Structure 1
C-alpha cells in the first residue's frame, strides 16, 4: 500500500440519498457507481457501510451488495423513530472507527441532513478529513461548509438526471439549499444513460482503454495537487476497476500502454523524479482536442437554423454519425455537457437555456 494514498471510510445515510435522488433527480434505484469512482480518484476506500431499513429497499440492497457495501439494517419499530435510530447508529460507528482505525485518514459521509454536522465537526477535531456527499435539492445549507470537501451527487460524472423525477414514500428532508438553476443539471442526452446493472458497481470495464486512462487522469488532475505519476495513475485505475490488466489490451506493461496512448495524442509523458515512473499529463499542443472541437462546430453549424440552434440532447448522436467512435471521455471530459462547455469557454459555440424545450441550444457565433 502506498503511503501517499488517502484511506477512506464511506458511510451512507442511504434513505436520505436514495429518496433525494429519486425525488430530486428521478434516479431510482440509487447508483453508487459515480460515488465510488469519485472516491477512487481521491484514495483507497477501506470501509463501505450503508444504513437503512432494508425492507424498504429490496432492489437497492442487491445492487449495493454487488458494490461490496456492508449493509447495516435499522428495522422500523413501533413507537420508535427509525430516522433517529439510523442517524445515531451511523454517528456512533463513525466515531468508533475513527478511534479504532488510526490509519483511516478520510471519512466520506453520504447525507444531506444537517443533523450530521456535529459528527463532521468531531471527525475534523480528530484530525480526519471529511468529504460530504449529498443530492443538492435535499442537502441542508449547514452541511457543506462544515466539510473539507462536498460532492453534490447531481454533478458527479455518470449521474444522469431523469426528465421527470419520481415521487414516493420515505422520510422527507427540508432542503435549505434551493435547487440549482437549470444550468447545473440539464436533461442528459439519452445516449449517455447507463443501464442500472452496469451503473450499480464501481468496477465497470471500459471498452476503450484510452477513455479509461484519460477519464481517470482528468479526475486526478482536478482533485490532487502536483504532478500525476504513472504509478499513481495506475493505482487509481485499479481502484475503479480491480480487474484492469494492460495485458488484456495487448500491452506487456503499463508503461508500454502509456507510450502507445502518447503516440495517439491521448496523453503526454514527461520524465519524472524516479526512473521508469514518468509524469502523465494531457498533450499541450491539443491537436486531438482541436479535431474534436472542430467536429462539434461543424455539426452545430450544419444543424442550426435562423434564430434556433440544435438542442444538446441528441447532439452527440449527430457527431457519431460523422465519427462513429467519438467519445468526449477520450479527451478527459467526464460528460458531453462538460465537453460542450469547454467549447463554449473557447468561444467556439454559445449555449443558451431554452425553457420551452427544457434543454440547451447551441449555436456557432457569427
Structure 2
C-alpha cells in the first residue's frame, strides 16, 4: 500500500451541483468522481463545502459516500461564494503542510479562482487532479492541473436527453455466477428517499444492468485503469481497485474460491485476456483487442440506418431498440460506462455520427 497515491478530495459543491443541474440537466452524483479516483489511488479525505441550507436534499447522497460536510452558513446579504472558496483553499494548504503522506489533491470545481491554489499545491510537490462540468469550467483552470477530468465524460454520468435504461436505478441484484451482482461503480445512492438494496425502481425490466453484473464490473474497471494509468493492469491492482470502489467486494460472493479463479472464468467467456505479469501468480489483465465491439458497433449502425428518417435518431430510447434486435444487449461488458460513451466510441470509429440537438443527442448514419 506504500506505493499507492493518497488522495484528498475537496469539493466546491455549489459550483458542481449548479453546473450539473444547469448544463447537464441532472443532479450531481459523487459516485462517478469516486470511481475515477479509485482508479488512481486511495482517497483518505473527503470534504464538501457549501451552505447546506441550499442543498438539503444532497446531504444524504454525500454522507452515504462518507463525505464530511463543511457548513458555510452565510449572513443575509453576504457573499456566499467567497467564504466557501477561502475556507476550501485554507484547508487544502493546511492539509498539504500537515499531512505529508497525502500525495494528490482532487479539486472539484470549475472556478478560475482556485487556479492560484492549484499552483501552490504543485509548488509543494503535490499532484492535482481537477474535476468540473465542461460548460461551467473556466478555461484557466484545466491547464493548471496535472490532470483535469470533465464530469460530463466520467463513466456513469448521463446528461438529460441521453438517458438509457442502464442509467436508472441503484438497486443491487442477486449474486452468483452469471447473475447480476453488486456493482461498486453503479450502486451509488441517489437522492430518492430511502432506497432499498433490492429495490427495482420504475418498473424496469429485471435484466436491467443498473447494477453491473460481474463481467460488466470487471470490464469497466479494467477499462478505467487502462485509461488512467496507461500501463499494465495486473490482477493485484485490479483487485485493490475493485475493493476501493466497493469495500465489500469479494470473489467468494460470486461463488469463486480465489480471485485468480474469477479471472480465469471471465477469460474463458472472452470478457478479459490474461497474460504473464511481472510477478508469478499476478497476471496482466487486459480487455480483448476487439472484444465484441465490431459486432456491437455494427448492430448500432444497422439499427440507426433502419430508424433514421433523415433527421437522426434520438439517443434516448435507442438502447431499447438495440435490445429488441439482440436480447440482453449491454455496452458495459465492452468496457463502456454508459450507452452515451458507447455511442461516442462508434462515432470515433466512423460508423455513426453523434451530435447534440437541443438538450439531447441524436445519432445518424454517416
Aligned partner of 2:282 in structure 1 is 277
Partner of 2:293: 289
Does the 8 Å contact 1:205/1:244 carry over to 2?
Answer: no
| Structure 2 counterpart SS, 1:76 | coil
Q: Which residue of 2 aligns with 1:18?
A: 17
Aligned positions of 1:293-312 closer than 5 A:
293-305=297-309, 307=310, 309-312=312-315
Structure 2 stretches lacking a partner, 5+ long = 172-186, 191-196, 198-208
**Shift in alpha-carbon separation, 1:239–1:21, aligned structure 2, 3 A:** same
- Report the equivalent of 1:217: 222
Q: Indicate if the aligned counterparts of 1:35 and 1:156 stay in contact, CA closer than 8 A.
A: yes
Consecutive unaligned residues in structure 1, runs of 5 or more: 163-186
Q: Give the match's secondary structure for 2:128.
A: strand
2:59 maps to 1:61 = yes
Distance change (3 Å), C-alpha of 1:354 and 1:287: closer
Partners of 1:270 and 1:55 lie apart in 2 by 53
- What's the C-alpha RMSD, in Å, of the aligned pairs? 2.4
Distance 1:196 1:16, change over 3 A: farther
Q: What is the TM-score with the length of structure 1 in the denominator? A: 0.84
Alignment of 1:3-42 (within 5 A): 3-28=2-27, 30-42=28-40
Change over 3 Å in CA distance of 1:188–1:73 after alignment to 2: same
Residues 188-237 of structure 1: CA distance to partner in whole angstroms, max 9, x if unpaired? 13423334895447x99944111000001000101103211010011111
Report how far residue 357 of structure 1 moved.
9.4
The CA deviation at 1:287 is 5.2
Q: Report the CA distance shift for 1:317/1:124 in structure 2 as closer, same or farther (over 3 A).
A: same
Would the alpha carbon gap of residues 36 and 26 (structure 1) be closer, same or farther in structure 2, given more than 3 Å must change? same
- Partner in structure 2 of residue 335 of structure 1: 338
SS of equivalent residue, structure 1 residue 272: strand
Question: Where does residue 152 of structure 1 map in the other structure?
Answer: 150
CA contact (8 A) 1:120 1:147 kept: yes
Match of 1:251 in 2: 256
Cα pair 2:118 2:144 within 8 Å, conserved? yes
* Alignment TM-score, normalising by the size of structure 2: 0.84
Query: 2:140 is matched with which residue?
Result: 142
Q: Secondary structure at the match of 2:97?
A: helix
Aligned equivalents of 1:63, 1:127: Cα separation in 2: 32
